[in-house]
Structure formats: C-alpha cells, structure tokens
Amino acid sequence: MRHRTMAISALLTAMVAAAPLTAGAADTSDGTKSQPKSTTQEVKETVSDSWITSKTKIALFADDRVKGRQVTVETKDGVVFLRGKVDSAEAKSAAADVAGGVDGVKSVKNDLQVVAPSDRKAVKSNDADITKAVETRLKNDAQLKKVDVRADAGVVTLTGEVPSINASAKASEMARGVPGVKSVKNELTFKS
C-alpha cells in the first residue's frame, strides 16, 4: 500500500510539473504547435551564455599574448564582457580578438584596463576605496540602494536596476563626484 501511494504521488508530481510546459502550446496556421518562451528555453539560453563564458576563459588561458587569470569574463545574451587589468594595449586587443573568435559570441565589450604591473598594487587598493566610497554615497539614496558598483583602474561601472532614467542619471552624477573616479560606465537598466 505504501509503495502504491508513493508511486501515485510521484506520478501526480510529474504531471503537475509538466503542465506549464504543455499548457501554452497553440496551433498555428500550418498545423504545427507553437510554444511560448518556456523555462526550458530560458535555461538553454543561460547554459549557452555560461558555455560561451567557459569557452572564452579557456581560450584566453591558452593564448600566450593574454594572461587569462587577469581577465574576468561574463556573458549576457551572447555578448561577452571582458573586465580586469592587463599589462599592455596589445594584451587588451588580443583578448578581444580571442573572445570574438569563440563560437556563439555575438559581440565583445572590452572593458579591460591597461595597467603596468608595477602600478597594480596602488591601483587595486585605490579601486577598493573608490568602490566603497561610491557604494556609501548610493546607499544614502533609497532609489539607488541596490546598484552594484565595480571600480577598475578608476573607471566605475554601475549595474543593476533603478526605477527611472532620472535615477540612473543621478547614480552616474553621484559616482562622478567621488575623488579618484576617472569615468563612469552606466550599465543600469530601468523600468519603462
């Protein structure tokens, strides 16, 4: 009796889990079924982005022109973002070339900073201070509390979601006011 109850419970769980995936199917004019964007499709896109990130990291480690451990790679919708500090302009250019050659990459956003190895320690500690100062300023504004801040060689990158374009502009202005900030890359999104 116990095994039968467990089997029925497992069957009902599987049916409930499968229902959302089949409920959205609709007939099209040619008689085929069309599916709305499903969780499975979203997972495939995520897997695809993570796959591209992994392939890009491997390619960067394999290339002698770039020190792969210096480069942070992120991928969103096929767009590869390269961040970090490299030793020369040639290494920065090579990293973009390597990333662009990976299958599935739609485009490359090269945010690598060229910093001489001798200046790394000073730049790294300064970036930590800048990040902390910008975060402190933004946390004092209710609309900007959830903004993520990253500083790289004095270049501040703002990411996350804010309620309006005005809040986005305000975040850029507040970040620019922090001593040591060379420029601000505003990658904030907002609800329209």
Side-chain half-sphere exposure of 43, counting CA atoms within 13 A: 3
Q: For 44-72, what is each residue's pLDDT tens digit?
A: 555 588 899 999 999 998 888 888 788 88
Has residue 3 got a pLDDT over 90? no
**Residues sharing a CB contact under 8 Å with residue 191, sequence separation 6 or more, in sequence order:** 161, 163, 164
What average pLDDT does the segment 106-113 reach?
90
CA-based nearest residue to 180, from 142, 135, 137, 126: 126
Tokens of 185: 């890359």
> So what's the pLDDT on residue 136?
93
Average pLDDT, the chain: 79
Quick check: 158 and 147 in contact, CB under 8 A? yes
Residue 98 reports pLDDT greater than 90: yes
The secondary structure element, H or E, covering residue 115 is none
For tokens 């022109």, the residue is 65
Ordered structural domains, the chain, with CATH: 39-114 (3.30.1340), 119-190 (3.30.1340.30)
